[in-house]
Structure 1
Amino acid sequence: MNNKKRKVADIALKLFIEKGIQQTSIQEIIEKAKISKGTFYNYFSSKSDCIADILEFLRYDASQQRIAVQIGKDTGDRNVFIEQIVIIMRLNQERNLSPLFEAILSSNEADLKKLVMQHRLYEMEWLSNRFIEILGDEVRDHVFDATIIFFGMMHHMLFMMRITNTTYSLEHVVDTLLSYIELIVQKMLLNETVLIPHSAIDLLRTNANKKQVKIDDILSLADQLQQNYLFNEDQQDLFDAILSELKRDRIRKTVLQPLLKPFQKCTAESPISSQAQTFTNLVWYFLRNIH
């Protein structure tokens, strides 16, 4: 890791928090860091790129500390899990990142909002994978719901504790909320309830990572669906109509969009419901980005 680049990123972060992102100029960062303009642009292409690296450094530090805590311990050790969750919370506090996140999310800067979304998605995926290791593979279908509920409880609990000046330890808060999640997950399993399907998370990943969905990707997934599943007559008619539009030289949104929900609905109880929903989500996202 480039320590000089990181030092500049740390200086930029302090300025962003003190003055605001839009109010901080690249020239101010250069002067504060005592570097040349060429050096800054050798490290970062823009302020947004600088913020991307600030978040990347945070994730790197958290991952290194989490690995160090895990070494020689059982992956299912609940106390290790609690300590790992607390690590990034402490790093956020030490670097005073909450005001930066809040400023970005309340701004009109779409690119910066995507950076925060990416950062939170990385953390959600880490937590989801660890939930499976801690609670068992049977929670896999419910793990995103559990992750979102945990983050929501954590965010609002810490907010209320701060504004009421309540004394707390992060370990105790995490331990307590984790015990609630363990009970909630049992209820999810009992009721077979899933609010956020995997296909919705796939769409979130596509949005967060700014991946351009290509028609070839959609057609490739369509081929997989056709090969792995025998559609009934209604499903096949809708599927053929969708493919027919996708293969046109000029795709007609007004024709294609009304076909997506009926196809998703008629495959909802089928063995390929998740794949079919991913397919329709990708088509929807593709249509959003064509003119």
Structure 2
Amino acid sequence: MTISKKQELKQAAIKLFADQGYHHTSIQQIAKTATISKGAFYNHFDSKEQLFIELMKNHHEELYQKLDSLHLSTSLNKKEVFTKKLEIELEQIHQNRSFLLIMFKEFPHKNDDVMSKMNEDFRTRIIRRHKDELLEVYGDQIETMVWDLTIILEGMMKEYISLIVFQGITISIKKLTNFVVAHMDTLAASIVDMEPILNEELLCSSNQSSLLSIPEQLDDVLSMIKPTVESLSISDNEKAKLLDCLTNLRRECQQEHPALYLIEALSLYLKKQPELEKKIIHFEKLVDNLIEGEK
């Protein structure tokens, strides 16, 4: 299958960035590798920075799509879905480690630029997804300790990811995923009666810049509900109604001044499905936080 010239430019850029670094790669070199003129480069991208930003967006969106398309089915229980999602994350990191190395080395954490901000937003979204997935798997018994478990999970993932990306170590992703989940099982069972160290309020107050805004959190929660709706054992007609309801709810939340009565009505309809009730309650709490913040 032939690829577009824009895609050729992306592929050329990834190779050159990996070989000699982002800052030492010129637009002229990228264009030459893609066998077009420097002038033709600007038909596709305004700058080298815009090209790299699009590469980052592609990487992030590809992972989100893979995670959101993993439907809960009769062949996969909640634990297996959680395990598979971690495996997908780690596998994508392993496959794209050259590109990730560029991101980490050339755009270090805390730099005040668009790309560093994108990286931080992506990291925050993944952390929140992990938190919600842990609640989904282990239930109410870990609710008070969920942020502590989430941070432990992030720490485990970070150290292995560092070995994969920075040292180029090849690890069995399936074996690693099973190892991580086994340890989360042990921790989830052992902390039931312990007092939490972390909570959302503490995390928000300590690092405002690394946490998503309430509207961003709302969008994330709704995007994670869609696969659950698609996996429900109900008629196609009823499923279509729920998906339409979810789409309208997401659209309304993106408005500058969302209609709260409409959000309440749509939420109530979705909440009639037992499998969605807990997720919608979480969504409603975020809506309440949004309202409080606007007062």
TM bucket by the smaller chain?
0.5 to 0.7
The one of 133, 137, 146 equivalent to 1:130 is: 133
* Corresponding residue of 1:101: 103
Give me the whole-angstrom Cα distance separating, in 2, the residues matched to 1:53 and 1:85: 24
2-structure distance, mates of 1:135, 1:165? 33
Percent sequence identity is: 21
**1:100-142 superposed Cα distances (whole Å, 9 cap, x missing partner):** 2331354895313223212222222222222222122453453
Equivalent-residue separation in structure 2 for 1:174 and 1:14 (angstroms): 29
Query: Take 2:26 and 2:151, find their aligned partners in 1: how far apart are those partners?
Result: 36
TM-aligned CA deviation for residue 190 of structure 1? 1.8
Opposite residue 54 of structure 2, the aligned amino acid is: D
Deviation at 1:182, TM superposition (A): 2.9
**2:112 is matched with which residue: 105, 110, 120?**
110
Given residue 106 of structure 2, which amino acid in structure 1 is its aligned partner?
Answer: I
Work out which of the residue numbers 198, 204, 209 in structure 2 matches 1:195: 198
Letter of the structure 2 residue corresponding to residue 103 of structure 1: K
Range with bigger deviation, 128-137 or 107-116: 107-116
Q: 1:8 deviation in Å?
A: 2.5
CA distance in 1, matches of 2:7, 2:208: 27
Higher relative contact order (CA 8 A, sep 6+): 2
Larger radius of gyration: 1
8 Å Cα contact 1:81/1:130 also seen in 2: yes
- Counterpart contact for 1:154–1:174, Cα < 8 Å: no
Distance 1:129 1:54 in 2: 27
1:70-111 CA distances to partner (integer Å, 9 max, x unpaired)? 263578522232222121322222222342233135489531
Tell me the equivalent position of 2:51.
50
In structure 2, C-alpha distance between the alignment counterparts of 1:36 and 1:138, rounded to whole Å: 61
Q: Aligned equivalents of 1:50 and 1:117: distance in 2?
A: 19
- Secondary structure at the counterpart of residue 110 of structure 1: coil
Taking structure 1 as the reference length, the TM-score comes to 0.58
1:286 equivalent in structure 2: none
Q: Does the CA-based 8 Å contact 2:131-2:150 persist in structure 1? A: yes
* Closer/same/farther in 2, CA of residues 193 and 210 from structure 1, 3 Å limit: closer
TM-score (norm 2): 0.57
Aligned length: 215
Post-superposition offset of 1:22: 0.7
> Distance in 2 between the 1:189 and 1:206 partners?
31
What is the letter of the counterpart of residue 132 of structure 2? N
- Residue 154 of structure 1 deviates from its aligned partner by 2.4
Within 2, Cα distance between the matches of 1:26 and 1:165? 28
1:154 correspondence with 2:128:
no
Name the structure 1 match of 2:67.
Answer: 66
**What residue identity is the alignment partner of 2:142?**
V
Q: Is the 8 A contact 2:101 2:166 kept in 1?
A: no
Partner of 1:252: none
Whole-angstrom CA distance in 1 between matches of 2:205 and 2:128: 11
Q: Aligned ranges for residues 1-291 of structure 1 at < 5 Å?
A: 4-37=5-38, 40-70=41-71, 72-73=73-74, 76-95=77-96, 96-106=98-108, 109-111=111-113, 112-157=115-160, 159=162, 168-198=171-201, 200-201=203-204, 206-207=209-210
